[in-house]
């Protein structure tokens, strides 16, 4: 039986607790798990048997969440970790090595631009930034040392929608995996694996948890990439010295990346998601489709209203007919363009600062994807570390404000925006 998304978001990965019958996934607040005997312990440590050893690697509450996220994305497996940024490192770690590079979109969350342009250099990795709409530029940027292509499905903050199928085709032709950050879209609006993505990463912090309580991340593997087809991915295809020469791809097939993420990634990088956080995210995901429908409907109404306002120079919401990405929605995220967009004010940088300060119902915070409506001025906050060219390329020019539309009554949000725009001049 093929179950619908609404059923899977409630049930996938969860079953009544075998020990107690508890219907909701219990929070397994334990660090370690008793071995049956020495042989059982040895088999677990050798990866000859799957089970629980220590919560830095695996935990039943986190495992339920991993199965749910993997199912909703249509993947073979998933590894959860402590944040969206951790997920990006966890996704790259098995692929990269000193001297290797990743080709990434210029239209990314500002923190990701910094992570890729600055911090990964400390590992000897580098990133080449390209216009993700330019297939020739992507193909030309790929060289012998490239190990992945990375983009966001719906980009934060500009709402740009990537042509995932075309980007995946370019990556595939070069024998490389495409990694898609699906945080803004969520698997309810877009399933990148269906468009050819190899890996999907998430900040669980945003819409998946949905209520601003958790910091978490996930890496979902499609299970479809042939890691042994070339000599580019030795961590997955060659003998692993830390496991007596075990070859992850040969041994675990479609689950190679997932097992590597747990057995090497979480074991040695330690970016583990805690079971409390996994519980909150499981709760949040139960209502994902209902919330996303409301986020999209509210964002559509509000973006249309803003577009007609005299103080507004432009709105980037892909749900608007005026958006250059409107046509792409039908192909990539037909149910909606999420709840995130930017609005440019004619009053420029100063007007944006006044506007953000004058809003009352909207919260001025560095977050998105909450039930509450949120607002921020990226150029003076999240995108502050970027130079002006990078800010413009990522959709965060000095004259724009990023708005994350919540699930409140749309008319109340419009009234708040109206009074704040009047004060912004
Ligand atoms: N990806 C996107 C699109 C984001 O918006 C964010 C955070 O804002 C991240 C990744 C990083 O996630 P986290 O804050 O959970 O590390």
pLDDT of residue 1: 73
pLDDT of residue 378: 87
Closest residue to atom 11 of ligand 1, CA basis: 84
Report, as an integer, the average pLDDT of 163-172. 98
Instruction: Report the separation in Å between the CA atom of 395 and the middle of ligand 1, taken as the mean of its atom positions.
Output: 16
Q: What phi, psi does 77 have (nearest 5°)?
A: -165, 165
- pLDDT tens digit sequence for 346-385: 999 999 999 999 999 999 999 999 999 999 998 888 787 8
- Percentage of the chain modeled with pLDDT above 70: 100
Looking at the predicted structure, is the pLDDT value of residue 421 above 80? yes
Looking at the predicted structure, is the pLDDT value of residue 394 above 80? no
Which of 256, 210, 264 has its CA nearest to residue 229?
A: 256
Instruction: Report the separation in Å between the CA atom of 111 and the middle of ligand 1, taken as the mean of its atom positions.
Output: 7
Residue found by looking up tokens 């050819």 in the block: 196
- pLDDT tens digit sequence for 119-138: 999 999 999 999 999 999 99
Residue 96 burial (CB count, 10 A): 22
The secondary element (H helix, E strand) that includes residue 91 is: helix 84-92
Report, as an integer, the average pLDDT of 59-75. 98
Is any atom of ligand 1 closer than 6 Å to the C-beta of 370? no
Q: Which of 81, 83, 84 to mutate to test the pocket of ligand 1 (most atoms within 8 A of CB)?
A: 84
Q: Assign 395 a pLDDT band (cuts: 50, 70, 90).
A: confident
Length of the chain: 425
Instruction: Report the separation in Å between the CA atom of 43 and the middle of ligand 1, taken as the mean of its atom positions.
Output: 37
Residue 413 burial (CB count, 10 A): 22
pLDDT of residue 158: 87
Instruction: Count Cβ neighbours within 10 Å for each residue of 194-229 and write b for 16 or more, e otherwise.
Output: ebbbbbbbbbbbbbbbbbbebbbbbbbbbbebebbe
pLDDT of residue 287: 98
Domains of the chain, residue spans: 7-283, 288-424
Instruction: Report the separation in Å between the CA atom of 418 and the middle of ligand 1, taken as the mean of its atom positions.
Output: 29
pLDDT of residue 62: 98
Q: Assign 178 a pLDDT band (cuts: 50, 70, 90).
A: very high
Atom in ligand 1 nearest the alpha carbon of residue 88: 10
Q: How many CA atoms does the CB half-sphere of 174 hold within 13 Å?
A: 24
Kindly report the average pLDDT of the chain as a whole number. Answer: 96
- pLDDT tens digit sequence for 304-361: 999 999 999 999 999 999 999 999 999 999 999 999 999 999 999 999 999 999 999 9
pLDDT of residue 396: 84
Which of 210, 258, 315, 272 has its CA nearest to residue 86?
A: 272
Which of 356, 353, 357, 316 has its CA nearest to residue 337?
A: 316
The CATH code for residues 7-283 is 3.40.640.10
Is any atom of ligand 1 closer than 6 Å to the C-beta of 83? yes
- Percentage of the chain modeled with pLDDT above 90: 92
Is any atom of ligand 1 closer than 6 Å to the C-beta of 338? no
- pLDDT tens digit sequence for 73-124: 999 999 999 999 999 999 999 999 999 999 999 999 999 999 999 999 999 9
pTM: 0.97
Residue 333's alpha-carbon distances to 72, 159, 160, 287, 329, in angstroms, are 15, 12, 12, 19, 5
Q: Assign 425 a pLDDT band (cuts: 50, 70, 90).
A: confident
The CATH code for residues 288-424 is 3.90.1150.10
Do 7-283 and 288-424 show the same overall fold?
Answer: no
């Amino acid at each position: 039986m093929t179950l619908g998304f609404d059923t899977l978001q409630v049930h996938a990965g969860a079953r009544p607790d075998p020990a107690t019958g508890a219907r909701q996934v219990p929070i397994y607040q334990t660090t370690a798990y008793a071995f049956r005997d020495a042989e059982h312990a040895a088999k677990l440590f050798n990866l000859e048997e799957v089970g629980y050893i220590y919560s830095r690697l695996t935990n039943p509450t986190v495992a339920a969440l991993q199965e749910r996220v993997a199912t909703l994305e249509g993947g073979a497996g998933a590894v959860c970790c402590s944040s969206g940024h951790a997920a990006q490192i966890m996704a790259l770690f098995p692929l990269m090595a000193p001297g290797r590079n990743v080709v990434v979109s210029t239209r990314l969350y500002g923190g990701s631009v910094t992570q890729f342009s600055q911090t990964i250099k400390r590992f000897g990795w580098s990133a080449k930034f390209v216009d993700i709409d330019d297939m020739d530029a992507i193909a030309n940027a790929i060289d012998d040392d490239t190990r992945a292509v990375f983009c966001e499905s719906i980009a934060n903050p500009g709402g740009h929608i990537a042509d995932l199928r075309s980007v995946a085709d370019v990556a595939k032709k070069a024998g490389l995996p495409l990694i898609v950050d699906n945080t803004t879209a969520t698997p309810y609006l877009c399933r990148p694996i269906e468009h050819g993505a190899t890996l999907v990463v998430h900040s669980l912090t945003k819409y998946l948890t949905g209520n601003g309580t958790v910091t978490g991340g996930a890496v979902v593997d499609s299970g479809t990439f042939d890691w042994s087809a070339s000599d580019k991915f030795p961590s997955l295809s060659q003998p692993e010295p830390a496991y007596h020469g075990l070859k992850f791809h040969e041994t675990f097939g479609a689950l190679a990346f997932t097992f590597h993420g747990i057995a090497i990634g979480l074991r040695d990088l330690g970016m583990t998601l805690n079971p409390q956080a996994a519980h909150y995210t499981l709760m949040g995901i139960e209502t994902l489709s209902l919330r996303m429908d409301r986020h999209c409907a509210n964002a559509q109404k509000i973006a249309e209203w803003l577009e007609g306002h005299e103080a507004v120079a432009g709105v980037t919401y892909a749900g608007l007919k005026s958006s250059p990405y409107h046509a792409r929605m039908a192909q990539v995220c037909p149910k909606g363009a999420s709840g995130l967009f930017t609005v440019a004010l004619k009053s420029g940088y100063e007007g944006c600062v006044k506007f953000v300060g004058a809003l009352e119902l909207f919260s001025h915070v560095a977050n998105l994807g909450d039930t509450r409506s949120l607002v921020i001025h990226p150029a003076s906050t999240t995108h502050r570390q970027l130079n002006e060219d990078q800010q413009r390329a990522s959709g965060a020019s000095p004259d724009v404000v990023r708005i994350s539309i919540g699930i409140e009554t749309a008319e109340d949000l419009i009234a708040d925006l109206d009074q704040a725009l009047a004060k912004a001049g």
